[in-house]
Structure 1
Amino acid sequence: MNRILLIAALLTGMPAAAQPLLPAEKRLDRPSLHPRYREWMQPAGGVSVPRNPPALLWPAGGDDVSGYRVEFSSSPDFPSDKTRTGDQEWAVCALHTPLAPGRYWWRVTAFTRDGVPQRSETCDFVVPDSARRFATPTGGELVRRIAAMPHHRLYVTRDGLGAFRTRSASNPEAREFLDRARKRIDMDLVPIAPTRPRDTTGMSPFQKRSLINFMYHKFGEVATQPIVDFSLAWLLSGEEAFLDAVVRHARHVAAMPVDSDATSEDFNRSAIMYGLAFGYDTACDRMTAAERAAVLEAIRVRGERFYRQYVRDFECHSMDNHVWQHTFRNFFFTAIATLGDLPEAERWLRYCYEVWCGRFPILGGDDGGWHDGSSYMQANLVTFIYVPFVLTRLTGTDFFALPWYRNLPSFLVCSFPKGSYATGFGDDYEKMTSPSQLYMGFADALARETGSGEARWYADRLIGPDARNLYRSKGFTLYRILTDKPREGVAPVAPARNTSRFYPDAGFSLMHTDPADAREDLMAAFFALPFGSTGHAHAAHNGFTINYGGRQLFGGTGYYSNFNDKHTLLHYRTRGHNTILADGLAQVIGENGYGWLARFADTGALTYTLGDASHAYDSIRTPFWIDRMAQSGVEYTRENGLGDPGVTRFRRHFLFLKPDVIVLYDELAAREPVAWTWLLHSHHRLTQPAAAAVEADNGLAVGRMDLFTSSDLEVKVSDRFYAPAVNWKKRTGPDGKVMEYVNHWHSEFTPPAKSRAQRFLAVFRITPAGREPLPLTRRADGCITVGSWTLRAELDASRPARLEVSDSRGNAVLYATEASKIGGSTLIRTPGEADRELIDVVPASVR
């Protein structure tokens, strides 16, 4: 029998000591769930689509591809009378018109520059009766509508100008904006100069190039802000002096070089393009023929460069950060403003429209979550509002009528409460100590556009008692002046206490005792992300953050100096999180390192989430990250904590036992014996109250973690980063002073012997200041009691995993016990209710 088990283990690549896949489990074995560039056609394989109509997506093909023919039919034979055929240059096709329920077939022929067409396989999908209908105008219809509109059209049409001015006359913010514009109308032209000067002496070529981009950050916005402001001022007032100011500044900006330290970076190039387009849309009738030609040429050369850079690339990219954050919106609006004046604008417009309809929301699904973390989510907030706002106004279709927008308010409330540290995930997370003014303006706009009471409550909490505080959210000043939807039109709805929310598409489980009041809120964020550690996300699958009173107790450590300096690559994005090291190796950076949340339940007594990070450990495979490491001088070696340790199983059960206990149970396995290291970090000093315990005090509460396993543990506690944090960019804090990167605290727990499989059980007790901690005892039979809860966990990795957690009232979580009807399921027991049996459910975003 043992020989049979051993042979089976070798054939499946599964360690003999590991637990086999159980009936309640699903294993995701794709190299990546969301590859950096699309590798398969979608929808396909007879899948039932949740949205009617779906978008058709396919890989771009080779560099020699010049375009595609898309065939879509209600018959697998593609007869002409039942087939829709169209030629296009981009690899996305939004169908726009809802389909009758039934099965459909589609295929794509790629045209190449050598003239040899390449036809794809035939794909099929099913539109069920239950699919959500969302009709949008076709690209051709949108072009015809906009082409029929004379300038100005981007934000305010000629037909709507009178109503806009009448409404704005009673808008205090619009009046203040106009007063400021009048005072600045004779301002000097903006010179080409760094927005934040730095000394680059002694830096490597890579650091120097990065710092030059840093020095000219937002120069394009600064240079074109007078054009944007004076254009809006004219729309508000009709005063012709503003048109003259627009022309004066546009003439100056149009003469700037396309490629220079100040103007070549993509943010700056797109901001210049957009600013000129807004000015042209507003003041083209005021310009001479030569001025119009100069402005249009400055727009055209930049726009065409973006188009050539994007087409058959961007639409197939899992998440091109800068494009979605800024440049896509600027490019789209430029196309709207110049349609009919630049021949290329129609192609730009149709491309942007198809990508938006076919791909958004790019880093989420229907659940309202967002993959990148709270800091870089805010980089997208302006696009989230202005693109659907403009499209809704131009078409009459509500582009906010997506489930993602409807569910987004709860994600804001639970991921980033007022006065609180956020989820502790994603680049720049250490700065996310309370929502910014941008979040305030975004939530206000979201409430107006969706009618969400939760968004209204969140925005009002951030605004505070003085309504004028909203004016500080400059990114949404234009929206508040343009919209005809009043703030008072939506009644606020506060979130309930003991609120937990689940966002499997993005990969977050968020738990709170009181999201409405951070002062006494215990917040836990648990994450495992299907998109992988792409973009600004981190290789921190099955990681977590625990906050109390709005401050971090346990969570990620380190600083974001640059996208890929040594500290970022070796500590901040990987081992600086509360995860697992295998043979000292961290999770892999890239799309091939991913996780996912498989189970979730929330009751009045507890929240349970199961995360799977079995695919988070691998060799780095993405050429982008290999190149970035080389540029940063980071060697991809095991000595640097990088490489594939052969992990085959990392399932983490995360239990929040309300209101003050958190339990983690880890199941680990690898192809060969490895040293397993359990990581726990904090911004605060870690002390050791016992041999296998650490404690942190954030000034408002004490958090203690006791770790249990089947053997002794070697424990290391340190206040040194794995790779030093150096503020070589001289980043400044809110006070304008250069930030000091102080050390954080780190603990490592490692069994003395290597093994193919391992179990850990961690128990956290969070004790508010001035209170006594809950008692914790461990009996001789291994049973643990903490407060009113009793825990039994199988820590012997040679035996099947098992977890039982129950309290004196009859609440329980039973994993892989005799109570399961399906092997390996999780039973959630609540007094007076039928048991709930949980099995793995694959997130909709990866089905």
Structure 2
Amino acid sequence: MAMSLAIVLQSALLFTPVKQEAVKQLDTGMLHPRVREWAYPINRVEVPDDSPCLLWPGVKGKTVKYKVILASDSLFNKDVITGAEQRWAVYPLHQSLKPGRWYWKYAAVEKSGAKWKWSPTYDFVVKKQAKNLFVSPTVATILEKSKAAHPRLWGMNKGADAFYTNNKHNPEAKAFVVATSKLLGQELPEEKPTRPRDTTGMNALQRKQMVEFMYHGFGEKVAMPIRNLCIAFQLTKEERFIKEAIKRAVHVAKMNPDGLATRDDFNNGNIIEGLAWLYDAGFKYLTAEEKNLLKNTIGIRGQKIYEGLPNRFELQMCDNHVWQHIMRNFSIAAVAVASELPQAHEWLTYVYEIWSARFPVLGTNDGGWHEGNGYFRTHYETLIYLPELFGNISGVDYFKQSWMQNLPYYMLYSYPPNSTSTAVGDMHENLGGTVKMQAIFADALALKVNNPYLNWYVSEIRKSKPDYFKGNDDFQLFRLLNFNPKATKPVVSPSALPKGRVFNDVGLAAMHSDLAHTGKNLTSYLMANPFGAAGHGHAAQNAFTINYKGKKVFGGTGFYSNFSDAHNLLDYRSSRAYNTILADSLGQRIGEDGYGWMPRFMTGAHIQYALGDASNAYGEVTTDFWLGRFKEIGLKADKNSGYGNSGVKLYRRHMLQLDSNYVVLYDELEAVKPVKWTTQFHSPFNMNGKESGNALTQSFDLTTGLGHVNAAIYAHTPLQMSIHDKYNFPAKNWKGKTDDEDNVIEFKDQWHAGISTANPVQQNRFLTIIQLKNGVVEVVKLLNDVNGLYHLKLGQWEIMAELNATKPASLQVKSANENSVFSYGNRPVKVKSKVYEHRVKGSSMLIELKNNVINKQEVVDSLPDVVNFDAGFKRK
């Protein structure tokens, strides 16, 4: 899908009044349902390219089959495309369509011989310029290519000699062979826990989870040596490696598929990949008996995985475990045994079709990832190896797709080198600085996406973390496959890039003062996510994170103790853990219906700006998945737990970063009834409240060691402040979880501040001014306050904010030299004796002057791509 940008009103038209609505509203239960609920594309939507994938909601049943028909006329007589019967609810076209209107429908049948039930006829439009440069070949072509002689994985049937020759003098290849040779003659692995734990005193649920935890990684432990021995054989052509691999694979193939050690999908997936490696790479060295053993074991284990996929997996927003690892394992196995194991024909068809239709599953085009960077890392191997695998077969360079090309910018802006990240989503707390997985993934990606800023990103990490790039790791094979000592990698500092960037598809605005120098950088993030609080995402709509000099100052708190234990549900995953708004102490929904979106964004030389909308994020928890998680541990998603219907119907948060020292927040809030509004602040650093002689203002300082930090909060109604260092439910590392360096994580208390309206009010506005300085923070001077219209002075900046919620919202920020001016609302603004009007009432406008040249930007709300292109839900 084409990347959506805020609607910019060009400067040439700036002073011409136009009739246009600045503010857009969404009126739908969710934008990305957990399970697909409507067909796509429909309602004459203009699709972003000429080779769309057809999607539709599934019909219940394990034996359901579907078929599709598509034509350029509603009677299905012209340019007809008819799909074969299939078990899954996606249909990639694998061809370009001519411009114009197209019609399609699908049919389902639950039992063989029953009557097909057809859907209504849907339609969409292909525009003339909607050319897709990455049309993938048909399934028939892929299946024919899969009949290649062994070894066929990674194109070795044609490229084995080149792989051998190319790596003959590669130091990393030599080191890999030396390391792998240590496996020769070792004892065969036993089926026992990889990380034993004492389960004394645990309840039944905890004990079940702990057993899974104890065997986690067993499949990789026993399968990875087989894979490495096969690679060593291909690097050296020395039979000792393949013979050792055969011995190990035969041993592993005889393990019980239903035993504790290998029965879960993670372990099972690794097992079948390891066996597939040996079957493919060692094919001509295997006896007929060994081939049959491997094929039968792959067949049993693979079918166990496959039967849980069709008519379920492709319908899910994201089944994380499958996308993270199992689909990669399963796809490698399907390619390895295709044409020789009968069921593998269907396996390969399925994974190729789902990859074609759904990649990237938690993003669209902008390079972002819905769940945040903590859990993004668990997908890295698949995101590197499956494009390589399917690219080898299809001839499509998936690394040239828009999402891949934008991924370096997402990494750079959301997780700068040698800095902490966005502090949102599961496992965010493990990213206090650059971790090894991030470094080596970036390095691997740079082999295919030769982006000069990505090359800079990797080079910066290499300077500070050289040990990350030594020894064996998950991307070593990828580097060996793509080793090219003659390749040139231009390295360009991001200094000349815009200071900020928005990732609308995942609702992230990133603002930096100095991208190129972490030690000087002030970073502000605003999150408003169209995917909602789904999967490993959190109820953090319109939450902000502020990092200073590479360290988190304000951000999400708590720890990933377990996916859904009491600390997770009552703190870590909930809005209570984020710098966002509570209403009557209630937070946002968890689930896909608790979503936000990013209507506006602008970036300039001195002022950066984002607007997030979380008006749809509040209400009762309604999804069965999450209600079941509460019930499982004896909790209710009620007011005692911080959930429920607070009646919030408007929450728009404007966020500005001013140069390298100030962040300004302006919140517009409204509920269906009076509520107590609370704006929250969370930090790993000690908070100290400051006495205020004005009940309309509250402030506190942070003791950081990074400099001086102060937050001041203003409203047009009396405020109260509460500061403490306790969670709603204690954080306890009951699993003994470890960080990336295998150190047991200490679950520490952190600091929390809540500034609340003293009395319930139906409408409210907060103005927050945060200072982060090396020197002493400045006193915010109140120049005027006329019935809620605050006029403040802070250093070289003046701020005017309308906090009286009965009057139209307005915010203006101006530098003392008037070279940088921001205005939201409809008030005219004066710059260098010249008055500028808003072209659209309620727009946001940024005016900056440099070398006597005026740069003007004016934006109104722009809907996310999922709304622009997926018209299956109501909107207004």
Instruction: State the TM bucket, normalised to the shorter chain.
Output: over 0.9
1:541/1:594 contact within 8 Å kept: yes
The aligned amino acid for 1:806 is K
Q: Name the CA distance, whole Å, in 2 between partners of 1:446 and 1:74.
A: 40
**2:500 touches 2:603 (CA, 8 Å); kept in 1?**
yes
With over 3 angstroms needed to count, the CA separation of the structure-2 counterparts of 1:587 and 1:48, relative to structure 1, is: same
Change (3 A) 1:73 1:215: same
What residue is the counterpart of 2:537 in the other structure? 537
Distance 1:472 1:702, change over 3 A: farther
Q: Secondary structure at the match of 1:496?
A: helix
Secondary structure at 1:275 match in 2: helix
CA–CA separation in structure 1 for the residues paired with 2:553 and 2:745: 22
Q: AA paired with 2:778?
A: L
TM-score by length of structure 1 reads: 0.95
Query: What is residue 59 of structure 1 aligned with on the other side?
Result: 57
CA contact under 8 A between 2:510 and 2:523: conserved in structure 1?
A: yes
Once the two structures are superposed, the pairs formed by residues 514-533 of structure 1 within 5 Å of their partners are 514-533=514-533
The separation in 1 between residues aligned to 2:440 and 2:472, in whole angstroms, is 5
More relative contact order, 1 or 2 (CA 8 Å, 6+ apart): 2
Displacement of 1:524: 1.1
Structure 1 residue identity aligned to 2:510: L
Q: 1:385 to 1:132 in 2, by over 3 A?
A: farther
Q: By how many angstroms is 1:180 displaced?
A: 1.9
Q: What one-letter code is carried by the residue in structure 1 that aligns with 2:515? A: P
Q: Is the 8 A contact 1:545 1:556 kept in 2?
A: yes
CA contact (8 A) 2:514 2:522 kept: yes
What do the CA deviations read for 1:688-722 (whole angstroms, capped 9, x no partner)?
Answer: 13431122132112221100001221110000111
2:709 and 2:771 in contact (8 A); partners too: yes
State the AA in 2 paired with 1:676. Answer: W
**1:697 maps to 2:703:** yes
Q: Which runs of 4+ in 1 moved over 6 A?
A: 465-468
1:101 is the counterpart of 2:99: yes
Alignment of structure 1 residues 460-479 onto 2, 5 Å:
460-464=459-463, 469-472=468-471, 474-479=473-478
Q: Deviations for 1:769-796, whole angstroms, at most 9, x for unmatched residues?
A: xx23234211232211112221111111
Structure-to-structure mapping, 1:595-614, within 5 angstroms: 595-614=596-615
2:777 to 760, 763, 773: 773
More off after superposition, 73-82 vs 466-475: 466-475
Q: Once the 2 structures are TM-superposed, how far is the Cα of residue 390 of structure 1 from its aligned partner?
A: 1.8
CA distance in 2, matches of 1:494, 1:166: 35
SS at match of 2:284: helix
Question: Residue type of the partner of 1:140?
Answer: A
CA distance in 1, matches of 2:246, 2:652: 61
Deviation at 1:736, TM superposition (A): 4.9
Instruction: Return the letter of the residue paired with 1:61.
Output: V
State the distance in 2 between where 1:81 and 1:560 align: 53
Tell me which moved more, 813-822 or 396-405.
813-822
1:825 aligns with 2:843: yes
Name 2:10's counterpart in structure 1: none
Q: Which amino acid aligns with 1:837?
A: E
- 1:144 matched to which residue of 2? 144
The CA distance in 2 between the partners of 1:697 and 1:250, in whole Å, is 57
Map Cα deviations across residues 524-545 of structure 1 (whole Å, 9 max, x no partner).
1111100011111110000011
Match of 1:216 in 2: 215
My pick for the range that moved more, 645-654 or 201-210, is: 201-210
- Correspondence for 2:858: 837
In structure 2, C-alpha distance between the alignment counterparts of 1:748 and 1:583, rounded to whole Å = 12
Instruction: Report if the CA contact (8 A) 2:499-2:604 is conserved.
Output: no
C-alpha displacement of 1:810: 3.9
Distance 1:714 1:361 in 2: 45
| Aligned counterpart in structure 1 of residue 70 of structure 2, from 69, 72, 82 | 72
Query: What code does the residue aligned with 1:838 have?
Result: V
Amino acid at match of 1:828: L
Aligned to 2:643: 642
TM-score by length of 2: 0.92
Matched, 1:744 2:739: no
> How many angstroms apart in 1 are the aligned matches of 2:742 and 2:486?
33
One-letter amino acid of the counterpart of residue 635, structure 1: K
Match of 1:716 in 2: 722
> CA RMSD of the aligned region, Å?
1.8
Q: Deviation at 1:495? A: 0.8
Segment of structure 1 superposing worse, 725-734 or 334-343: 725-734
**Deviations 1:649-675, CA, capped at 9 Å, x for gaps:** 110001111121110000111112111
Please point out which of 37, 48, 52 is paired with 2:35.
Answer: 37
Q: Residue 521 of structure 1 contacts residue 548 of structure 1 at CA under 8 Å; is this kept in 2? A: yes
Paired AA for residue 701 in structure 1: G
Amino acid at match of 2:216: H
The SS at the match of 1:598 is strand
Deviations 1:355-383 (A, max 9, x none): 11111111112111111111111111111
Contact 1:444 1:487 in 2 (8 A): no
Partner of 2:578 in structure 1? 577
Q: Secondary structure at the match of 1:813?
A: strand
Is there any run of 5+ residues in structure 2 with no aligned partner, and where?
Answer: 1-18, 693-697, 828-836, 869-876
Distance 1:395 1:116, change over 3 A: closer
Counterpart in the other structure of 2:310: 311
Segment of structure 1 superposing worse, 153-162 or 667-676: 153-162
How far did residue 37 of structure 1 move? Answer: 0.3
Structure 2: how far apart are the matches of 1:311 and 1:499? Answer: 44
Alignment of structure 1 residues 794-809 onto 2, 5 Å = 794-808=802-816, 809=818
Q: Determine the structure 2 residue equivalent to 1:813.
A: 822
Q: CA deviation at 1:569?
A: 0.6
Q: CA deviation at 1:765?
A: 0.8
Give the partner amino acid of 2:566.
Answer: K
Q: Which amino acid aligns with 1:178?
A: V
CA contact (8 A) 2:670 2:762 kept: yes
Partner of 2:3: none
Alpha-carbon distance change, 522 to 467 in structure 1, aligned in 2, over 3 angstroms:
closer
Size of the aligned set, in residue pairs, is 824
How far did 1:64 drift?
6.0
- Counterpart of 1:110 in structure 2: which amino acid? A
Q: In the aligned structure 1, how far is the partner of 2:807 from the partner of 2:87?
A: 57
Verify: 1:122 aligned to 2:121, yes or no: yes
Q: Are the aligned partners of 2:331 and 2:351 in contact in 1 as well (CA < 8 Å)?
A: yes
Change (3 A) 1:807 1:122: same
1:396/1:85 Cα in 2 relative to 1: closer, same or farther (>3 Å)?
A: closer
Question: Counterparts of 1:340 and 1:702 in 2: how far apart (Å)?
Answer: 66
**Conserved 8 A contact 2:784-2:792:** no
CA deviation profile, 1:620-676 (whole Å, cap 9, x unmatched): 111111111111222222112111211101100011111211100001111121111
Cα distance in 2 between the residues matched to 1:217 and 1:845: 36
Taking the aligned partners of 1:625 and 1:116, their CA distance within structure 2 comes to 37
- Output the CA distance in 2 between the equivalents of 1:441 and 1:735: 15
* TM-aligned CA deviation for residue 465 of structure 1: 7.9
- Alignment match, 1:5: none
Partner of 1:6: none
Distance in 1 (CA, whole Å) between partners of 2:228 and 2:175 is 12
* 1:441-590 equivalence runs, <5 A: 441-464=440-463, 469-472=468-471, 474-486=473-485, 488-496=487-495, 499-574=499-574, 575-590=576-591
* Paired residues of 2:435 and 2:740 also in contact (CA < 8 A): no
Shift of 1:284: 2.9
In structure 2, the residue matched to 1:14 is none
Distance 1:398 1:802, change over 3 A: same
What is the letter of the counterpart of residue 721 of structure 2?
V
For residues 576-598 of structure 1, give each alpha carbon's deviation from its aligned partner in whole angstroms, at most 9, with x where no partner exists. 10011111111111101000100
Q: For structure 1, which segment, 57-66 or 43-52, has the greater mean C-alpha deviation from structure 2 after superposition? A: 57-66
* Equivalent pair of 2:414/2:422 in contact (CA under 8 Å): yes
Counterpart residue type for residue 39 of structure 2: M
Residues 189-239 of structure 1, C-alpha deviations (whole Å, 9 max, x = no match): 111111111111111111111111111111100011221111111111111
Question: Structure 1 stretch 116-125 or stretch 518-527: which is displaced more?
Answer: 116-125
Instruction: Report the residue type matching 1:186 in the other structure.
Output: G
Aligned residue among 751, 764, 769 for 1:763:
769
Which runs of no fewer than 5 residues in structure 1 stay unpaired?
A: 1-20
Aligned partner letter, 1:703 = V
Q: Which residue of 2 aligns with 1:631?
A: 632
Deviation of 1:89 after TM superposition, in Å, equals 1.4
Q: Say if 1:465 and 1:766 are closer, same or farther in 2 by CA, change over 3 A.
A: closer
The one-letter code matched in structure 2 to 1:839 is: V
